[in-house]
């Protein structure tokens, strides 16, 4: 089968190798377009439910690596606020807590806060955050945050325009799978592309 890459993504070099190794051809004008997830065009691999989970896991792992590298203390000494408790937020909170960090989850829905509490995290209403934290990580794709809550590291995993509605200094890190683990990200992407195409062919 022929594929065309559109746009730039750090995973594309590894994806190209994977597709060619599987016997596919890369051309400049194929109808089977592969574009970065943010562009939402071409083969809709980003809607594959397995892709969303695996990609979230890579994002959480990349965020954990950034926190460990950028924070000024070890994880067991850190209090970390994770804003949002979707796929990425819940996985990141779990990984942080497993390594000893004191995790608080900020979420809008009572159900998400109850689930976070049931998993052993502190939880607060995302609209009523008053405490001070060492690290603040946003996973919510909406500008809902203001200030740094005392954090020495504010990390934004959301796509543009990010989660802060003010000029708080923030380390913006969208697209972490491609930056942190491009080969693994490419494999996740390739598997999702094959699953989507298989469904299309069957239907």
Q: In the structure encoding, which two tokens stand for residue 132, read together?
A: 């001070």
Mean pLDDT within 135-158: 95
- Strand pairing partners for 34? 5, 42
Query: Residues 147, 83: contact at Cβ < 8 Å?
Result: no
203 band by pLDDT with thresholds 50, 70 and 90: very low
Q: Is the pLDDT of residue 201 over 80?
A: no
Q: How confident is the prediction for the chain on average, in pLDDT?
A: 95
Residues 6 or more apart from 123 whose CB is under 8 A from it? 104, 105, 106, 107, 112, 113, 114, 116, 117
Average pLDDT of span 154-179: 93
Rounded Cα distance, 162 and 114, in Å: 26
Q: What per-residue confidence (pLDDT) applies to 38?
A: 86
Tokens of 2: 């022929």
pTM score, whole prediction:
0.93
Q: What is the mean pLDDT of residues 99-128?
A: 97
Q: Alpha-carbon distance 98 to 96, whole Å? A: 5
* pLDDT of residue 180 exceeding 80: yes
pLDDT computed for residue 200 by the predictor: 60
Pick the closest to residue 103 from 124, 80, 87 (CA basis). 80
Contact partners, residue 175, CB within 8 Å, separation at least 6: 9, 10, 36, 38, 159
Q: Which residue's entry shows tokens 């809550």? A: 149
pLDDT tens digits, 15-62: 999 999 999 999 999 999 999 998 999 999 999 999 999 999 999 999
With a cut of 50, say whether residue 188 has pLDDT above it. Answer: yes
- Looking at the predicted structure, is the pLDDT value of residue 199 above 80? no
Q: d(Cα 37, Cα 47) in Å, to the nearest integer?
A: 9
Give the model's confidence band at 202: pLDDT under 50 very low, under 70 low, under 90 confident, else very high: very low
Query: Which pLDDT band holds residue 14 (cuts at 50, 70, 90)?
Result: very high
């Amino acid at each position: 089968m022929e594929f065309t890459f559109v746009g730039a993504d750090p995973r594309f070099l590894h994806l190209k190798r994977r597709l060619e190794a599987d016997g596919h051809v890369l051309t400049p004008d194929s109808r089977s377009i592969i574009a970065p997830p943010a562009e939402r065009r071409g083969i809709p691999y980003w809607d594959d439910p397995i892709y969303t989970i695996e990609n979230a896991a890579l994002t959480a792992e990349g965020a954990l690596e950034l926190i460990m590298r950028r924070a000024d203390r070890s994880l067991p000494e850190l209090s970390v606020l994770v804003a949002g408790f979707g796929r990425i937020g819940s996985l990141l909170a779990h990984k942080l807590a497993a390594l000893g960090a004191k995790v608080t989850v900020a979420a809008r829905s009572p159900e998400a806060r109850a689930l976070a509490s049931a998993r052993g995290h502190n939880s607060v209403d995302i609209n009523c955050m008053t405490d001070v934290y060492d690290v603040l990580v946003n996973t919510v794709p909406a500008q809902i945050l203001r200030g740094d809550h005392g954090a020495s590291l504010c990390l934004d995993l959301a796509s543009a325009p990010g989660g802060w509605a003010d000029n708080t200094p923030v380390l913006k890190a969208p697209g972490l799978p491609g930056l942190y683990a491009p080969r693994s990200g490419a494999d996740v992407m390739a598997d999702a592309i094959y699953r989507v195409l298989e469904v299309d062919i069957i239907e």
